[in-house]
Structure 1
Amino acid sequence: MRVFPLVLALAGILVACSRPQVEPVTVADQQAAQLQAEVSRLVTYPKFGDFDPYDWGNRKPQSYPIHGIDASRWQSTIDWEKARKAGVSFAFFKATEGGDLADPRFAEHRRGAQAAGVPWGAYHYYYFCRSAEEQARWFIRNVPRGADLPHVLDMEWTPRSKTCTKRPSGAKVRSEARKFLAILQAHYDRRPIIYTTVDFYQDTGIGDIGGTEFWLRSVAGHPSEVYPGGRWTFWQYTGTGEVPGVDGEVDINVFRGSPEAWVRWRDRLGT
Protein backbone atom coordinates (compact mmCIF):
# COMPACT_ATOMS: atom_id res chain seq x y z
CA MET A 1 0.00 0.00 0.00
CA ARG A 2 1.37 3.42 -0.86
CA VAL A 3 1.83 5.83 2.05
CA PHE A 4 1.71 9.44 0.99
CA PRO A 5 4.42 11.80 2.22
CA LEU A 6 1.88 13.98 4.02
CA VAL A 7 0.72 11.02 6.11
CA LEU A 8 4.30 10.21 7.04
CA ALA A 9 4.95 13.79 8.06
CA LEU A 10 1.87 13.88 10.26
CA ALA A 11 2.87 10.62 11.90
CA GLY A 12 6.29 12.06 12.67
CA ILE A 13 4.75 15.12 14.27
CA LEU A 14 2.49 12.96 16.44
CA VAL A 15 5.42 10.82 17.60
CA ALA A 16 7.47 13.92 18.42
CA CYS A 17 4.60 15.48 20.35
CA SER A 18 4.14 12.32 22.38
CA ARG A 19 7.77 12.39 23.66
CA PRO A 20 8.31 13.96 27.09
CA GLN A 21 9.95 17.36 26.92
CA VAL A 22 13.22 17.51 28.89
CA GLU A 23 14.08 20.93 30.30
CA PRO A 24 17.75 21.89 29.83
CA VAL A 25 19.88 22.01 32.96
CA THR A 26 20.93 25.60 33.54
CA VAL A 27 23.93 27.01 35.37
CA ALA A 28 21.55 28.19 38.09
CA ASP A 29 20.25 24.62 38.47
CA GLN A 30 23.77 23.29 38.81
CA GLN A 31 24.68 25.92 41.40
CA ALA A 32 21.53 25.18 43.40
CA ALA A 33 22.32 21.46 43.40
CA GLN A 34 25.91 22.16 44.42
CA LEU A 35 24.71 24.44 47.22
CA GLN A 36 22.33 21.86 48.65
CA ALA A 37 24.97 19.12 48.43
CA GLU A 38 27.43 21.27 50.38
CA VAL A 39 24.82 22.24 52.98
CA SER A 40 23.90 18.59 53.52
CA ARG A 41 27.51 17.87 54.56
CA LEU A 42 27.55 20.48 57.32
CA VAL A 43 27.13 19.70 61.01
CA THR A 44 25.01 22.59 62.25
CA TYR A 45 24.10 23.89 65.72
CA PRO A 46 26.92 21.98 67.48
CA LYS A 47 26.80 21.52 71.24
CA PHE A 48 30.25 22.65 72.30
CA GLY A 49 31.16 23.08 75.95
CA ASP A 50 32.88 25.89 77.80
CA PHE A 51 35.32 25.70 80.70
CA ASP A 52 34.10 29.10 81.90
CA PRO A 53 30.52 29.41 80.62
CA TYR A 54 28.67 32.72 80.35
CA ASP A 55 24.92 33.16 80.79
CA TRP A 56 23.89 34.50 77.40
CA GLY A 57 20.21 34.90 78.15
CA ASN A 58 18.18 35.14 74.95
CA ARG A 59 21.10 36.09 72.68
CA LYS A 60 22.92 32.76 72.66
CA PRO A 61 25.71 32.06 70.18
CA GLN A 62 24.24 28.57 70.00
CA SER A 63 21.34 30.02 68.02
CA TYR A 64 23.71 30.36 65.05
CA PRO A 65 24.14 27.20 62.96
CA ILE A 66 27.75 27.53 61.78
CA HIS A 67 30.60 27.38 64.30
CA GLY A 68 34.37 27.21 64.00
CA ILE A 69 37.58 27.68 65.95
CA ASP A 70 40.80 29.65 65.79
CA ALA A 71 44.06 28.16 66.96
CA SER A 72 47.72 28.95 67.43
CA ARG A 73 50.82 27.47 69.03
CA TRP A 74 48.89 27.18 72.31
CA GLN A 75 46.75 24.38 70.93
CA SER A 76 48.50 21.03 70.75
CA THR A 77 47.87 18.50 68.02
CA ILE A 78 44.21 18.62 66.99
CA ASP A 79 42.15 15.62 65.85
CA TRP A 80 40.61 17.44 62.92
CA GLU A 81 38.40 14.60 61.78
CA LYS A 82 36.84 14.40 65.23
CA ALA A 83 36.47 18.18 65.41
CA ARG A 84 34.81 18.36 61.99
CA LYS A 85 32.34 15.62 62.85
CA ALA A 86 31.50 17.46 66.08
CA GLY A 87 30.59 20.62 64.17
CA VAL A 88 33.76 22.61 63.45
CA SER A 89 32.88 24.13 60.06
CA PHE A 90 35.89 26.42 59.71
CA ALA A 91 39.21 27.32 61.30
CA PHE A 92 41.52 30.32 61.39
CA PHE A 93 45.16 29.85 62.37
CA LYS A 94 47.75 32.30 63.61
CA ALA A 95 50.49 32.45 61.00
CA THR A 96 52.59 35.51 61.74
CA GLU A 97 53.17 38.34 64.18
CA GLY A 98 54.86 41.65 63.55
CA GLY A 99 57.58 41.37 60.93
CA ASP A 100 59.72 38.50 62.14
CA LEU A 101 57.68 35.99 64.17
CA ALA A 102 55.97 32.93 62.70
CA ASP A 103 53.71 30.56 64.61
CA PRO A 104 55.50 27.19 64.84
CA ARG A 105 52.26 25.20 64.60
CA PHE A 106 50.76 27.01 61.62
CA ALA A 107 51.78 24.47 58.98
CA GLU A 108 50.73 21.56 61.20
CA HIS A 109 47.29 23.03 61.86
CA ARG A 110 46.81 23.98 58.21
CA ARG A 111 47.70 20.54 56.87
CA GLY A 112 45.52 18.81 59.45
CA ALA A 113 42.49 20.94 58.63
CA GLN A 114 42.99 20.46 54.90
CA ALA A 115 43.22 16.68 55.27
CA ALA A 116 39.94 16.60 57.22
CA GLY A 117 38.14 18.95 54.83
CA VAL A 118 37.85 21.85 57.27
CA PRO A 119 37.98 25.23 55.44
CA TRP A 120 40.83 27.37 56.75
CA GLY A 121 42.26 30.87 56.72
CA ALA A 122 45.26 32.46 58.44
CA TYR A 123 45.64 35.53 60.61
CA HIS A 124 48.38 38.07 61.27
CA TYR A 125 48.84 39.65 64.69
CA TYR A 126 49.72 43.29 64.02
CA TYR A 127 52.45 45.21 65.83
CA PHE A 128 52.56 49.00 65.60
CA CYS A 129 56.35 49.14 65.66
CA ARG A 130 56.71 47.98 62.05
CA SER A 131 55.21 49.27 58.82
CA ALA A 132 52.15 47.76 57.19
CA GLU A 133 54.21 46.94 54.10
CA GLU A 134 56.84 45.03 56.07
CA GLN A 135 54.25 43.03 57.98
CA ALA A 136 52.24 42.22 54.85
CA ARG A 137 55.39 40.95 53.11
CA TRP A 138 56.19 38.79 56.15
CA PHE A 139 52.71 37.27 56.10
CA ILE A 140 52.89 36.55 52.36
CA ARG A 141 56.28 34.92 52.83
CA ASN A 142 54.84 32.47 55.35
CA VAL A 143 51.30 31.79 54.08
CA PRO A 144 50.85 30.01 50.75
CA ARG A 145 48.02 30.69 48.35
CA GLY A 146 45.13 28.24 48.31
CA ALA A 147 43.26 29.06 51.52
CA ASP A 148 39.54 28.32 51.54
CA LEU A 149 38.71 31.49 53.47
CA PRO A 150 39.91 35.09 53.39
CA HIS A 151 42.86 35.80 55.63
CA VAL A 152 42.62 38.01 58.70
CA LEU A 153 44.27 41.15 60.02
CA ASP A 154 44.23 40.92 63.83
CA MET A 155 44.44 44.43 65.29
CA GLU A 156 44.31 44.98 69.04
CA TRP A 157 46.34 46.79 71.66
CA THR A 158 49.48 45.00 72.87
CA PRO A 159 50.04 46.22 76.47
CA ARG A 160 51.81 43.02 77.53
CA SER A 161 54.33 43.03 74.70
CA LYS A 162 57.99 43.17 75.70
CA THR A 163 58.94 44.97 72.49
CA CYS A 164 56.04 47.11 71.27
CA THR A 165 53.34 48.86 73.29
CA LYS A 166 52.71 51.80 70.97
CA ARG A 167 49.18 53.18 70.76
CA PRO A 168 48.99 55.25 67.55
CA SER A 169 46.06 57.49 66.73
CA GLY A 170 42.91 56.15 65.18
CA ALA A 171 43.76 57.83 61.89
CA LYS A 172 47.17 56.13 61.84
CA VAL A 173 45.65 52.76 62.72
CA ARG A 174 43.09 52.98 59.94
CA SER A 175 45.70 54.10 57.42
CA GLU A 176 48.00 51.18 58.26
CA ALA A 177 45.09 48.73 58.17
CA ARG A 178 44.07 49.87 54.69
CA LYS A 179 47.62 49.42 53.40
CA PHE A 180 47.88 45.91 54.84
CA LEU A 181 44.49 44.88 53.48
CA ALA A 182 45.28 46.18 50.00
CA ILE A 183 48.60 44.32 49.77
CA LEU A 184 47.07 41.01 50.84
CA GLN A 185 44.06 41.45 48.57
CA ALA A 186 46.34 42.00 45.58
CA HIS A 187 48.34 38.86 46.40
CA TYR A 188 45.59 36.43 47.45
CA ASP A 189 42.73 37.83 45.34
CA ARG A 190 40.38 38.12 48.31
CA ARG A 191 39.87 40.98 50.73
CA PRO A 192 41.03 40.09 54.27
CA ILE A 193 38.79 40.31 57.32
CA ILE A 194 39.62 42.51 60.31
CA TYR A 195 39.56 40.92 63.76
CA THR A 196 39.45 43.25 66.74
CA THR A 197 38.48 43.71 70.37
CA VAL A 198 36.04 46.00 72.15
CA ASP A 199 38.52 48.55 73.50
CA PHE A 200 40.49 48.76 70.26
CA TYR A 201 37.28 49.21 68.27
CA GLN A 202 36.15 52.02 70.52
CA ASP A 203 39.54 53.74 70.72
CA THR A 204 40.45 53.75 67.04
CA GLY A 205 37.25 53.87 65.00
CA ILE A 206 38.49 50.91 63.00
CA GLY A 207 34.88 49.99 62.29
CA ASP A 208 34.76 52.95 59.90
CA ILE A 209 36.94 51.13 57.39
CA GLY A 210 34.81 50.24 54.42
CA GLY A 211 35.11 47.44 51.91
CA THR A 212 35.99 44.74 54.41
CA GLU A 213 34.24 42.44 56.86
CA PHE A 214 34.73 42.22 60.62
CA TRP A 215 35.35 39.46 63.12
CA LEU A 216 34.50 40.81 66.56
CA ARG A 217 35.45 39.45 69.97
CA SER A 218 32.72 39.61 72.59
CA VAL A 219 32.77 37.03 75.37
CA ALA A 220 30.23 38.73 77.66
CA GLY A 221 27.45 40.01 75.46
CA HIS A 222 26.03 39.81 71.95
CA PRO A 223 27.90 41.99 69.41
CA SER A 224 24.78 44.10 68.89
CA GLU A 225 25.06 45.10 72.55
CA VAL A 226 28.83 45.41 72.83
CA TYR A 227 29.43 46.98 69.40
CA PRO A 228 26.27 49.05 68.82
CA GLY A 229 25.74 49.43 65.09
CA GLY A 230 28.88 47.42 64.34
CA ARG A 231 29.15 45.26 61.25
CA TRP A 232 30.28 41.68 61.73
CA THR A 233 30.58 38.42 59.83
CA PHE A 234 32.22 36.37 62.60
CA TRP A 235 31.74 36.58 66.34
CA GLN A 236 34.31 35.13 68.75
CA TYR A 237 32.15 34.31 71.75
CA THR A 238 34.54 32.48 74.02
CA GLY A 239 38.23 31.95 74.64
CA THR A 240 37.62 28.99 76.95
CA GLY A 241 35.69 26.70 74.64
CA GLU A 242 35.61 22.92 74.86
CA VAL A 243 35.57 21.16 71.48
CA PRO A 244 35.93 17.44 70.73
CA GLY A 245 39.31 16.75 69.20
CA VAL A 246 40.98 19.74 70.86
CA ASP A 247 42.91 19.33 74.10
CA GLY A 248 42.21 22.14 76.55
CA GLU A 249 40.66 25.52 75.92
CA VAL A 250 40.10 26.95 72.46
CA ASP A 251 38.46 30.03 70.94
CA ILE A 252 35.07 29.36 69.36
CA ASN A 253 33.36 31.55 66.79
CA VAL A 254 30.10 31.72 64.86
CA PHE A 255 29.32 32.82 61.32
CA ARG A 256 26.51 35.31 61.01
CA GLY A 257 24.12 33.59 58.64
CA SER A 258 22.33 30.45 57.55
CA PRO A 259 24.04 27.28 56.30
CA GLU A 260 23.18 28.34 52.74
CA ALA A 261 24.65 31.80 53.33
CA TRP A 262 27.79 30.20 54.75
CA VAL A 263 28.37 28.02 51.68
CA ARG A 264 27.77 30.96 49.35
CA TRP A 265 30.14 33.15 51.33
CA ARG A 266 32.78 30.46 51.74
CA ASP A 267 32.81 29.48 48.08
CA ARG A 268 32.02 32.94 46.69
CA LEU A 269 28.97 31.61 44.88
CA GLY A 270 27.14 34.91 45.02
CA THR A 271 23.51 35.31 46.08
Structure 2
Amino acid sequence: MTLNGIDVSNWQPDIDLSKVSADFVIVKMTQGVDYLSPVRTSQYIGAKKTKKLLSVYHYADGSGAEAEAKHFLNNVKDYVGEAVLALDWEGEVVTKGVSYAKTWLDYVYKQTKVKPLIYMSKSVTNAYDWSTVSKDYGLWCAQYASEESTGYQEDPWTDNTVFGSWTTPTIYQYSSHGNLPGYNGNLDLNKFYGGKDDWAKLAKTGDIVPTTITPIIQYSDDNGNRAYAYTHWQAVAGKPELNILESPNGTKFELRVDNTGKLTAVKKE
Protein backbone atom coordinates (compact mmCIF):
# COMPACT_ATOMS: atom_id res chain seq x y z
CA MET A 1 0.00 0.00 0.00
CA THR A 2 1.18 3.52 -0.77
CA LEU A 3 -0.09 7.06 -0.17
CA ASN A 4 0.30 10.24 -2.23
CA GLY A 5 1.16 13.58 -0.70
CA ILE A 6 2.72 17.02 -1.03
CA ASP A 7 5.01 19.21 1.05
CA VAL A 8 4.29 22.91 1.43
CA SER A 9 6.00 25.98 2.86
CA ASN A 10 6.09 29.75 2.55
CA TRP A 11 6.62 29.19 -1.18
CA GLN A 12 2.93 28.21 -1.46
CA PRO A 13 1.36 30.90 0.75
CA ASP A 14 -2.01 30.94 -0.97
CA ILE A 15 -2.63 27.21 -1.38
CA ASP A 16 -6.12 26.06 -0.40
CA LEU A 17 -5.54 22.53 0.81
CA SER A 18 -9.25 21.76 0.72
CA LYS A 19 -9.04 21.96 -3.08
CA VAL A 20 -5.92 19.84 -3.58
CA SER A 21 -6.03 16.06 -3.50
CA ALA A 22 -3.49 14.55 -1.10
CA ASP A 23 -3.42 11.69 1.38
CA PHE A 24 -0.85 13.57 3.44
CA VAL A 25 0.63 17.07 3.72
CA ILE A 26 4.10 17.89 5.05
CA VAL A 27 4.32 21.46 6.38
CA LYS A 28 7.46 23.51 6.90
CA MET A 29 7.43 24.98 10.40
CA THR A 30 10.87 26.31 11.27
CA GLN A 31 14.36 27.03 9.98
CA GLY A 32 17.58 27.63 11.86
CA VAL A 33 17.10 29.00 15.36
CA ASP A 34 14.65 31.84 14.80
CA TYR A 35 12.77 31.55 11.50
CA LEU A 36 9.09 30.60 11.49
CA SER A 37 7.17 30.02 8.27
CA PRO A 38 4.52 32.76 8.27
CA VAL A 39 1.92 30.37 6.83
CA ARG A 40 2.75 27.33 8.99
CA THR A 41 -0.38 27.47 11.13
CA SER A 42 -2.84 28.13 8.32
CA GLN A 43 -1.35 25.36 6.21
CA TYR A 44 -1.38 22.87 9.07
CA ILE A 45 -4.95 23.69 10.07
CA GLY A 46 -6.04 23.64 6.44
CA ALA A 47 -4.66 20.14 6.00
CA LYS A 48 -6.11 18.93 9.28
CA LYS A 49 -9.60 20.26 8.55
CA THR A 50 -9.71 18.23 5.36
CA LYS A 51 -8.71 15.02 7.20
CA LYS A 52 -5.29 14.75 5.57
CA LEU A 53 -2.46 12.95 7.33
CA LEU A 54 0.04 15.40 8.78
CA SER A 55 3.77 15.96 9.01
CA VAL A 56 5.88 18.95 10.07
CA TYR A 57 9.50 19.65 9.25
CA HIS A 58 12.48 21.80 10.18
CA TYR A 59 14.93 23.20 7.62
CA ALA A 60 18.45 22.97 9.04
CA ASP A 61 20.83 25.84 8.32
CA GLY A 62 23.82 25.08 10.54
CA SER A 63 23.03 27.48 13.40
CA GLY A 64 23.63 24.74 15.98
CA ALA A 65 22.10 21.28 16.01
CA GLU A 66 20.62 21.28 19.50
CA ALA A 67 19.55 24.92 19.32
CA GLU A 68 17.78 24.21 16.03
CA ALA A 69 16.05 21.18 17.53
CA LYS A 70 14.83 23.23 20.49
CA HIS A 71 13.48 25.92 18.17
CA PHE A 72 11.59 23.27 16.23
CA LEU A 73 10.13 21.60 19.31
CA ASN A 74 9.09 24.88 20.87
CA ASN A 75 6.93 25.53 17.83
CA VAL A 76 5.48 22.07 17.11
CA LYS A 77 4.69 20.87 20.63
CA ASP A 78 0.96 21.06 19.96
CA TYR A 79 1.33 18.77 16.95
CA VAL A 80 3.48 16.03 18.46
CA GLY A 81 1.56 12.79 18.50
CA GLU A 82 -0.51 13.51 15.41
CA ALA A 83 2.15 14.67 12.93
CA VAL A 84 5.20 12.87 11.62
CA LEU A 85 8.35 14.87 12.43
CA ALA A 86 11.12 15.47 9.90
CA LEU A 87 14.46 17.19 9.36
CA ASP A 88 15.15 18.84 5.99
CA TRP A 89 18.85 18.25 5.25
CA GLU A 90 19.90 20.11 2.12
CA GLY A 91 21.96 23.06 0.95
CA GLU A 92 25.10 24.30 2.69
CA VAL A 93 24.32 22.54 5.99
CA VAL A 94 25.11 19.19 4.35
CA THR A 95 28.82 19.96 4.76
CA LYS A 96 28.32 19.96 8.55
CA GLY A 97 28.29 16.19 8.26
CA VAL A 98 26.35 13.26 9.63
CA SER A 99 27.05 14.01 13.30
CA TYR A 100 25.24 17.36 13.12
CA ALA A 101 22.11 15.78 11.67
CA LYS A 102 22.26 12.91 14.16
CA THR A 103 22.50 15.34 17.08
CA TRP A 104 19.29 17.04 15.90
CA LEU A 105 17.48 13.74 15.36
CA ASP A 106 18.61 12.28 18.68
CA TYR A 107 17.59 15.39 20.59
CA VAL A 108 14.11 15.44 19.06
CA TYR A 109 13.67 11.74 19.74
CA LYS A 110 14.84 12.10 23.34
CA GLN A 111 12.34 14.88 23.98
CA THR A 112 9.33 13.42 22.15
CA LYS A 113 9.90 9.68 21.79
CA VAL A 114 9.13 10.17 18.11
CA LYS A 115 11.76 9.04 15.61
CA PRO A 116 11.90 11.79 12.98
CA LEU A 117 12.50 11.20 9.30
CA ILE A 118 15.41 12.89 7.55
CA TYR A 119 15.03 14.47 4.10
CA MET A 120 17.91 14.57 1.65
CA SER A 121 18.68 14.11 -2.02
CA LYS A 122 19.62 10.70 -3.39
CA SER A 123 23.15 11.95 -4.02
CA VAL A 124 23.63 12.91 -0.36
CA THR A 125 22.60 9.43 0.81
CA ASN A 126 25.63 8.08 -1.05
CA ALA A 127 28.07 10.92 -0.38
CA TYR A 128 28.33 10.24 3.36
CA ASP A 129 28.29 7.25 5.70
CA TRP A 130 24.80 7.43 7.21
CA SER A 131 24.94 4.06 8.97
CA THR A 132 24.69 5.61 12.46
CA VAL A 133 21.51 7.41 11.37
CA SER A 134 19.85 4.83 9.12
CA LYS A 135 19.69 2.24 11.90
CA ASP A 136 17.30 4.47 13.87
CA TYR A 137 15.70 6.98 11.51
CA GLY A 138 13.75 6.65 8.28
CA LEU A 139 14.61 8.35 5.00
CA TRP A 140 12.60 10.90 3.04
CA CYS A 141 14.53 10.93 -0.22
CA ALA A 142 14.39 13.25 -3.22
CA GLN A 143 15.29 12.21 -6.76
CA TYR A 144 13.72 13.51 -9.95
CA ALA A 145 13.52 11.89 -13.36
CA SER A 146 13.10 15.30 -15.02
CA GLU A 147 11.71 18.78 -14.51
CA GLU A 148 8.67 18.13 -16.64
CA SER A 149 5.25 18.81 -15.16
CA THR A 150 3.55 15.71 -13.75
CA GLY A 151 0.71 14.55 -11.57
CA TYR A 152 0.85 11.78 -9.00
CA GLN A 153 2.64 8.69 -10.28
CA GLU A 154 1.84 5.12 -9.29
CA ASP A 155 5.39 3.89 -9.75
CA PRO A 156 7.85 6.82 -9.83
CA TRP A 157 11.16 6.50 -11.64
CA THR A 158 14.34 5.72 -9.70
CA ASP A 159 17.85 5.12 -10.98
CA ASN A 160 17.88 1.68 -9.32
CA THR A 161 20.96 2.45 -7.23
CA VAL A 162 21.23 2.11 -3.46
CA PHE A 163 19.99 4.73 -0.99
CA GLY A 164 23.25 4.81 0.94
CA SER A 165 22.81 3.02 4.26
CA TRP A 166 19.05 2.76 3.84
CA THR A 167 17.45 -0.21 2.12
CA THR A 168 14.57 1.90 0.86
CA PRO A 169 13.06 5.32 1.60
CA THR A 170 10.03 5.78 3.82
CA ILE A 171 8.90 8.70 1.65
CA TYR A 172 10.08 9.31 -1.90
CA GLN A 173 9.90 12.81 -3.38
CA TYR A 174 9.94 12.29 -7.15
CA SER A 175 9.04 15.70 -8.56
CA SER A 176 9.33 19.39 -7.75
CA HIS A 177 7.12 20.23 -10.72
CA GLY A 178 3.91 18.58 -9.61
CA ASN A 179 0.75 19.84 -11.26
CA LEU A 180 -2.44 19.05 -9.35
CA PRO A 181 -6.02 20.29 -9.79
CA GLY A 182 -6.86 23.03 -7.30
CA TYR A 183 -3.51 24.81 -7.28
CA ASN A 184 -1.96 26.96 -10.00
CA GLY A 185 1.71 26.37 -9.36
CA ASN A 186 4.43 23.78 -8.88
CA LEU A 187 4.20 21.32 -6.01
CA ASP A 188 6.60 18.74 -4.60
CA LEU A 189 5.06 15.29 -5.07
CA ASN A 190 5.76 12.49 -2.62
CA LYS A 191 4.92 8.82 -2.21
CA PHE A 192 4.73 7.18 1.23
CA TYR A 193 5.43 3.46 1.24
CA GLY A 194 2.81 2.36 3.73
CA GLY A 195 -0.79 2.88 4.77
CA LYS A 196 -2.57 5.20 7.17
CA ASP A 197 -1.84 2.96 10.15
CA ASP A 198 1.86 2.99 9.30
CA TRP A 199 1.79 6.79 9.15
CA ALA A 200 0.10 6.95 12.54
CA LYS A 201 2.80 4.73 14.06
CA LEU A 202 5.50 7.13 12.85
CA ALA A 203 3.72 10.03 14.55
CA LYS A 204 2.66 8.36 17.79
CA THR A 205 4.35 9.46 21.00
CA GLY A 206 3.95 10.76 24.51
CA ASP A 207 4.30 14.36 25.67
CA ILE A 208 7.33 16.53 25.07
CA VAL A 209 9.70 16.62 28.02
CA PRO A 210 9.98 20.25 29.17
CA THR A 211 13.31 21.82 28.23
CA THR A 212 13.04 24.74 30.64
CA ILE A 213 14.28 24.60 34.21
CA THR A 214 11.48 24.83 36.76
CA PRO A 215 11.68 25.14 40.56
CA ILE A 216 10.43 21.83 41.90
CA ILE A 217 11.33 22.17 45.57
CA GLN A 218 10.88 25.06 47.94
CA TYR A 219 12.91 24.71 51.14
CA SER A 220 12.71 26.80 54.29
CA ASP A 221 14.40 26.24 57.64
CA ASP A 222 13.07 26.85 61.17
CA ASN A 223 14.33 30.44 61.08
CA GLY A 224 12.26 31.29 58.03
CA ASN A 225 15.14 31.27 55.54
CA ARG A 226 13.81 30.15 52.17
CA ALA A 227 15.29 28.93 48.90
CA TYR A 228 14.24 27.13 45.73
CA ALA A 229 16.00 24.13 44.23
CA TYR A 230 16.16 23.82 40.46
CA THR A 231 16.89 20.50 38.82
CA HIS A 232 16.68 18.80 35.43
CA TRP A 233 16.95 15.29 36.75
CA GLN A 234 14.37 14.79 39.46
CA ALA A 235 10.68 14.48 38.65
CA VAL A 236 8.67 14.97 41.82
CA ALA A 237 5.29 13.33 42.22
CA GLY A 238 3.02 13.86 45.17
CA LYS A 239 4.48 15.56 48.26
CA PRO A 240 8.24 14.96 48.40
CA GLU A 241 10.59 15.35 51.36
CA LEU A 242 11.16 19.04 50.82
CA ASN A 243 14.83 19.28 51.73
CA ILE A 244 16.07 16.10 50.00
CA LEU A 245 17.10 15.65 46.37
CA GLU A 246 17.94 12.28 44.86
CA SER A 247 20.11 11.98 41.74
CA PRO A 248 19.54 9.36 39.02
CA ASN A 249 22.19 7.06 40.53
CA GLY A 250 20.46 7.08 43.91
CA THR A 251 22.77 9.52 45.71
CA LYS A 252 20.84 11.72 48.13
CA PHE A 253 21.61 15.36 48.92
CA GLU A 254 20.28 17.46 51.79
CA LEU A 255 19.49 21.07 51.00
CA ARG A 256 20.67 23.69 53.47
CA VAL A 257 20.18 27.45 53.37
CA ASP A 258 21.97 30.04 55.52
CA ASN A 259 20.85 33.44 56.79
CA THR A 260 21.93 35.12 53.54
CA GLY A 261 19.77 32.83 51.44
CA LYS A 262 22.72 30.82 50.09
CA LEU A 263 21.66 27.28 49.21
CA THR A 264 24.00 24.31 49.43
CA ALA A 265 23.49 20.61 48.82
CA VAL A 266 25.32 18.24 51.17
CA LYS A 267 25.71 14.58 50.29
CA LYS A 268 23.91 12.33 52.75
CA GLU A 269 25.90 9.34 54.02
Q: Do both share a fold (TM > 0.5)?
A: yes
State the partner residue of 1:34: none
> C-alpha separation between the residues in 2 aligned to 1:223 and 1:105?
35
Cα deviation for residue 196 of structure 1 reads: 0.4
For the pair shown, the structure with the greater C-alpha radius of gyration is 1
Q: 2:193 is aligned with what amino acid? A: R
Which structure: greater strand fraction? 2
State the partner residue of 1:217: 142
* 1:72-102 C-alpha deviation (Å, 9 max, x unpaired): 111132222222xx3x000111111111211
In the alignment, structure 1 segments of 5+ residues that lack a partner are 1-63, 159-164
> C-alpha separation between the residues in 2 aligned to 1:268 and 1:166?
28
Equivalent runs, 1:34-183 vs 2, <5 Å: 65-83=2-20, 86=21, 88-128=22-62, 130-147=63-80, 148-158=82-92, 167-168=95-96, 173-183=97-107
> C-alpha separation between the residues in 1 aligned to 2:113 and 2:163?
29
Q: Does the 8 Å CA contact 1:207/1:230 hold for their aligned counterparts?
A: no
> C-alpha separation between the residues in 2 aligned to 1:154 and 1:206?
15
Q: What do you get for the CA RMSD once the two structures are aligned?
A: 2.4
Residues 166 and 247 of structure 1: CA distance in aligned 2, closer, same or farther (over 3 Å): same
State the partner residue of 1:236: 173
TM-score (norm 2): 0.64
> C-alpha separation between the residues in 2 aligned to 1:176 and 1:166?
9
> C-alpha separation between the residues in 2 aligned to 1:191 and 1:226?
22
Which structure: greater helix fraction? 1
Instruction: Kindly tell me the number of residue pairs found equivalent between the two proteins.
Output: 189
Quote the sequence identity (%): 26
Larger RCO (alpha carbons 8 Å, 6+ apart): 1
SS at match of 1:268: helix
> C-alpha separation between the residues in 2 aligned to 1:223 and 1:107?
36
Cα deviation for residue 249 of structure 1 reads: 0.5
Q: 1:233 is aligned with what amino acid? A: T
Residues 202 and 144 of structure 1: CA distance in aligned 2, closer, same or farther (over 3 Å): same
State the partner residue of 2:244: none
State the partner residue of 1:227: 163
Cα deviation for residue 224 of structure 1 reads: 3.6
SS at match of 1:205: coil
Q: Does the 8 Å CA contact 1:207/1:231 hold for their aligned counterparts?
A: no
Cα deviation for residue 144 of structure 1 reads: 2.9
SS at match of 2:88: strand
State the partner residue of 1:267: 200
> C-alpha separation between the residues in 2 aligned to 1:226 and 1:244?
33
SS at match of 1:75: coil
> C-alpha separation between the residues in 2 aligned to 1:166 and 1:253?
22
In the alignment, structure 2 segments of 5+ residues that lack a partner are 146-156, 205-269
Residues 65 and 182 of structure 1: CA distance in aligned 2, closer, same or farther (over 3 Å): closer
